[in-house]
Structure 1
Amino acid sequence: MLAFSGVLALAGALVAAVVAVRDGGERRFLGSAAEIEVYARGVAEGDRLGPRSVGGMEFEEIRRERGVVVFQQGEREHSPYGYAWSPHGDPARLLADVEWSADHLDHRFEHLQGAFYSWRGSR
């Protein structure tokens, strides 16, 4: 019973650590939001830009499709993640039938603040 309690405590600590890291990244992103928005406004439709730093944050790729600018930070298990700026509303609706690569991606967006969303693509 004591071992089971230890496993539960360890699992709870791991979940709390993951949530803290995620929330810390989002706070950092939102702290840079003004600079990132200025940059996003200058990205032309269809642009696909390579690695760069914007607002003190590193991104592997930045692209604009249908008015949505996606800031890809990286990939986990072949699934890209990052943030999106979408001043015209829900980016999932705007990008519903856009193919981003040879591999189909299902896009998931979670509203953060204003026109900013967290973004995850899954294959």
Structure 2
Amino acid sequence: MIGEVIAIGVSRRGVLTFLGILALAGVVMVALVVFRGTGDGRFLRASAEIEAFARTMRDGERLGPRTVGGMEFEEVRRERGVVVFQQGDTMHSPYGYAWSPQGDPVRLLEDVEWSEDHVDHYFEHLQGAFYSWIGRR
């Protein structure tokens, strides 16, 4: 097959370059999937400590930067029984995790305003009462 490709004007070097780029793209895609799951897995391994901390918070309480269960958070806040652990902010969209023992946090936080800017909350169930979270402004 390579002989046929070379016969129509593509060099062996071009074919190898293309295959190299294709392999690199595959490695990048695998890395994205693996590293995306790493944060969630780390969070779930620390879930007992994170849940114990969440249970100590009162509704309306808002705490600044801290480490909980070996993980760093920029802010931790509790609203209507849902504790949101904000890890950071990407392009003005906060993200992190939530602990919601009463079920779906979207339903519970439906009309809660977190700042002067409106934030739409998106949650993905991880395990038990834990969810990954992103807030989009």
Normalised by the length of structure 1, the TM-score is 0.92
Match of 1:31 among 45, 59, 64: 45
> CA distance change for structure 1 residues 7 and 116 in 2, over 3 Å: closer, same or farther?
same
Aligned residue number for residue 12 of structure 1: 26
Match of 1:104 among 108, 111, 118: 118
Runs of 4+ in 1 over 6 A off after TM superposition: none
> CA distance change for structure 1 residues 77 and 11 in 2, over 3 Å: closer, same or farther?
farther
- Count of aligned pairs between the two proteins: 123
Q: Distance in 1 between matches of 2:119 and 2:23?
A: 35
Aligned residue number for residue 95 of structure 2: 81
Q: Distance in 2 between matches of 1:28 and 1:86?
A: 18
Q: Is 1:43 the equivalent of 2:71?
A: no
Normalised by the length of structure 2, the TM-score is 0.83
Unaligned 5+ runs, structure 2: 1-13
Aligned residue number for residue 66 of structure 2: 52
Q: Distance in 2 between matches of 1:15 and 1:106?
A: 28
Which of structures 1 and 2 has the bigger CA Rg? Answer: 2
| RMSD of aligned residue pairs (Cα, Å) | 1.5
